[in-house]
A and B are shown apart, each in its own frame.
Chain A
Amino acid sequence: MFKLIAIGFEGSANKLGIGIVEHTYEVDVLKNSDDTKIFEPIDIKVLSNVRDTYNPPPGQGFLPKDTAKHHRDCVIKVLKKAISDANVSVTEIDAVCYTKGPGMGAPLQSVAVVARTVAQLWKKPLIPVNHCVAHIEMGRAITGAIDPVVLYVSGGNTQVIAYSEKRIFGETLDIAIGNCLDRFARILMLSNDPSPGYNIEQMAKKGRNYIELPYSVKGMDVSFSGILSFIEQIVKKSKSLDDYSPEDLCFSLQETLFAMLVEITERAMAHVGSREVLIVGGVGCNERLQEMMEIMAKERNAKVFATDERFCIDNGIMIAQAGALAYAHGYQVPISESWVTQRYRTDQMLVKWRH
Chain B
Amino acid sequence: MIISQGAEARVYKTDFYGKPAIEKVRFQKKYRHPTLDAKILSRQINQEVRLIHRCLLNDIPVPCIYNIDKHEYKICMEYIEGDKVKDVLLKHNGENDIEGLLALKMAEVLAKMHDNGIIHGDLTTSNMIMNFGLGFVSKIPEDKAVDLYVFERAMISTFPSSAKLLSMFFESYTKMSKHSASVMNRLADVRLRGRKRDMTG
Interface residues, chain A, with chain B CB atoms under 8 Å away = 12-13, 102-104, 132, 156-157, 168, 171, 173, 176, 210, 212, 215, 219, 221, 255-256, 259, 262-263, 266-267, 269-270, 291-293, 295-296, 299, 342-346
Contact = CB atoms under 8 A, between A and B. Distances in A.
Interface string B43-71: 00000000000000000000000000000
Contacts of B33: 210, 255, 259
Given A219-B121, A270-B6, A296-B31, A259 B36 contact: yes
Nearest to A294: B31
A97 to B, nearest CB: 19
Contact of B134 (A219, A291, A292): A219
A292 B32 CA distance: 8
B7 A293 contact: no
Interface residues of B, number: 23
Contacts of A295: 30-31
A45 to B, nearest CB: 31
Nearest to A179: B201
User: Most chain-A Cβ atoms within 10 A of its Cβ — which of B7, B35, B40, B201?
Assistant: B201
B198 A262 contact: no
A291 B31 CA distance: 8
B201 A13 contact: yes
B4 interface: no
B195 interface: yes
Contact of A210 (B36, B197, B198, B200): B36
Given A255-B33, A259-B31, A346-B199, 20 more contacts: A12-B201, A103-B201, A132-B199, A157-B201, A168-B195, A173-B197, A176-B201, A219-B122, A256-B36, A259-B29, A259-B32, A259-B40, A262-B32, A263-B29, A270-B7, A291-B31, A292-B32, A342-B200, A343-B199, A345-B198
User: Most chain-A Cβ atoms within 10 A of its Cβ — which of B30, B33, B35?
Assistant: B33
Contacts of B146: 219
B91 interface: no
B7 A342 contact: no
Which DSSP category, helix, strand, loop or mixed, fits chain A's interface?
mixed
B30 A299 contact: yes
5 nearest A-B pairs in the assembled complex, by CB-CB distance = A156-B201, A270-B7, A292-B31, A295-B31, A255-B33
B201 A104 contact: yes
A212 B31 contact: no
Interface of B: 6-7, 29-33, 35-36, 39-40, 121-122, 134, 146, 150, 195-201
B200 to A, nearest CB: 6
26 contacts: A12-B201, A13-B201, A102-B199, A102-B201, A157-B199, A157-B201, A171-B195, A173-B197, A176-B201, A210-B36, A215-B36, A219-B134, A256-B36, A259-B29, A259-B33, A266-B7, A269-B7, A270-B6, A270-B7, A292-B32, A293-B31, A296-B29, A296-B31, A342-B201, A343-B198, A346-B199
Nearest to A165: B157
Contacts of B198: 343, 345
User: Most chain-A Cβ atoms within 10 A of its Cβ — which of B39, B134, B150, B199?
Assistant: B199
Contacts of B6: 270
A308 to B, nearest CB: 21
B9 to A, nearest CB: 12
A219 B39 CA distance: 17
A43 B33 CA distance: 42
A219 B124 CA distance: 13
B35 A262 contact: no
User: Most chain-B Cβ atoms within 10 A of its Cβ — which of A173, A212, A259?
Assistant: A259
Nearest to B157: A165
A293 B7 CA distance: 14
A221 B200 contact: no
B199 A173 contact: no
A344 B199 CA distance: 6
Contact of A267 (B7, B150, B200): B7
A328 B200 CA distance: 29
A259 B41 CA distance: 13
